[in-house]
Structures are given as structure tokens and as C-alpha cells.
Structure 1
Amino acid sequence: MSQEYLTTEELAQRIKYDARTIRERLKDSVLLEGVHYIRPFGGRKILYIWEKVEQDMFDHATNVAFAVPMARGGVCRG
């Protein structure tokens, strides 16, 4: 199993988001435990699985073309 694990700060640098935004807005709503990140050895430290994050970003980016933008920044997909 060769996956690349990133800290919150390393992920923030890669996806050009603030680390605080990742912790407060994306974690547990967009980035899910067991899918996008793990807590090794049952500890408090969070490691993000880069391949899963990257794949989801790509999947969502390709679906945006079929979305209708809404007034408050959301989108309607259907």
C-alpha cells in the first residue's frame, strides 16, 4: 500500500486553502474520516490521503459543468 499522507498544513499548501478552512469547514463535511483522512494509532493527529483528496477534487470539478450557480454561492445539480 503506497499512499501519500499529508498533514493539514501540507494539504493546505497543495490545494491552496488555509489550514484553518480545512479544519473548520471541509473536515467532516467534504473530507470524511476513513475516506479522505485517518487518525493513525487512534491518536489526535490527522493525516490526509492525498490520492483520495485529489480524486474527489477532480470528480467534483468535472461535475460542475452540469450545475446551475445559485445566488449565495451554491449550485443546483438537477
Structure 2
Amino acid sequence: MENKTYLTTDELSERIKYDPRTIRERLKDSVLLEGIHYFRPFGGRKILYIWETIERDMQLAAPAFGIPMANGDVCHG
């Protein structure tokens, strides 16, 4: 079984140097996707982010052009 590091919004904020409000209002559901980068344990309101997935995706080189898609792919026109 793979070990994963689960972070709250405040803990993620400390690691990636973004304000917690920016994470909640601008990154969540646009670049941080439910089921990939975060989940809601036990169907509740609390959100836990998966650090290893976020770290991996932050390091991917962004294409020079393209339209980001909800599933994480990029449409190149």
C-alpha cells in the first residue's frame, strides 16, 4: 500500500506558499481537482489534499499553448 500525505488547506498553504483563501477560491476545482488532488473523508465538509499528487503535478511543464480540461488533460486545439 502506498503511503500518502494528507494536508488541510492551511498545511497545504504553508507548503506551496499560497494564501489559504487563494487555494479555496482560485485553485480548488480549477487546478486542484476532487478525486485527484483532494477528497472529503467520510463524505463530510472537511477537505484533505494529497500532497504527493499535488507535488507531482506542480512540477509538470505547462505546454506553451492549450486549453486545460477538467480531467487534467490539455486540449491543443
TM-score (norm 1): 0.78
How many residues align? The count is: 66
Unmatched 5+ stretches in structure 2: 67-75
2:20 aligned residue: 19
Give 1 or 2 for the bigger CA radius of gyration: 1
2:41 aligned residue: 40
Identity %: 68
1:3-61 Cα offsets, whole Å, 9 max, x none, are 000000000000000000000000001000000001000000000000000001001xx
Unmatched 5+ stretches in structure 1: 68-75
Query: Which consecutive aligned stretches of 4+ in structure 1 deviate over 3 angstroms post-superposition?
Result: none
RMSD: 1.3
Query: Aligned to 1:23, what secondary structure does the other structure show?
Result: helix
TM-score (norm 2): 0.79
